[in-house]
Amino acid sequence: MLLVEYTPMARAWGWARLVLQRRPLRHVAGLRFAKVLGSGHEGGFGLRPSGSRQGLFLVFDDETTARQFVDSSPVLARYRAHAKECCVALLRATSSKGSWSGAAMVPTASLPTDGPVAALTRASIRPRHLRSFWRLSRASEAALAASPGCELAVGLGEAPLLRQCTFSLWDSVASMDAYARSGAHLLAIRTAYAGDFFAEAMFVRFAVLDLQGIWKGRVYGG
């Protein structure tokens, strides 16, 4: 997962990434899946879009090709050259439920007993349930930002309102579970699934192999 905030002079370059989507990535070795994602204002979860922040979620054939991309890809170098802030997380899926654009993620690691973990939740929301979804999500997202052990949380998406994604980083499995299995988040998830809010959804947990960069003024991995 790449999180980026563009410099003011590079915003047009960043907007072009959303238009071009996967085309600039077509020659990346070992790349199996890619999503270029917009973000909410200030990297948050509201309806107002950000003009400068984006995410790039990539899935590779194996860890070796993923590390090669992080270490030496000219694609990533161009992102960094246009960035005010940039943060890269190298992840291995430990559990996965559902699909994204018809593709499912295959877990390739065990959930660590200690140390950082990450979660990605994404959903395609049925238009008739938009109002109910966003009403429930506000409380859940406010709880996420204030949840003990949450080291990073960002609202992302493929399309305004309808196709949403949340990426979060936690100091431990216990902290992540405490948020996921209680309060506003649990109510929102139960209501969404009971009401058939989603045309498609995916929830993935990850072991964090490496984390480097700056996001919202905070240095990670330094």
Averaged pLDDT, 159-188? 88
Closest CA to 216 of 175, 159, 155: 155
Task: Judge whether residue 133 has pLDDT over 90.
Answer: no
The mean pLDDT value of the chain amounts to: 92
Q: How far is CA 144 from CA 3, 8, 38, 157, 193, in A?
A: 18, 29, 19, 17, 19
Q: What percent of the chain has pLDDT over 90?
A: 71
pLDDT of residue 7: 98
Averaged pLDDT, 198-205? 96
pLDDT of residue 114: 85
Task: Judge whether residue 203 has pLDDT over 70.
Answer: yes
The matching CATH number, chosen from 3.30.1490.20, 3.30.70.260, 3.30.70.100, 3.40.640.10, for 2-220 is 3.30.70.100
Size of the chain, expressed as the number of residues it contains? 222
Task: Judge whether residue 222 has pLDDT over 70.
Answer: no
Q: What percent of the chain has pLDDT over 70?
A: 100
CA dihedral 162, 200, 182, 113 (to 10 degrees): -120
Lowest-pLDDT range of 95-99, 166-170, 176-180, 200-204:
176-180
pLDDT, one tens digit per residue, over 30-82 is 999 999 999 988 877 777 888 999 999 999 999 999 999 999 999 999 999 99
Q: What is the pTM of this model?
A: 0.93
Averaged pLDDT, 135-142? 78
pLDDT of residue 207: 96
Task: Judge whether residue 138 has pLDDT over 80.
Answer: no
Lowest-pLDDT range of 9-13, 41-45, 73-77, 199-203:
41-45
DSSP 73-139: -HHHHHHHHTEEEEEEEEEEEEEEEE-BTTB-PPP-SPPPSSS-EEEEEEEEE-GGGHHHHHHHHHH
The SS3 of residue 163 is: strand
Q: Which two tokens stand for residue 181?
A: 């299995």
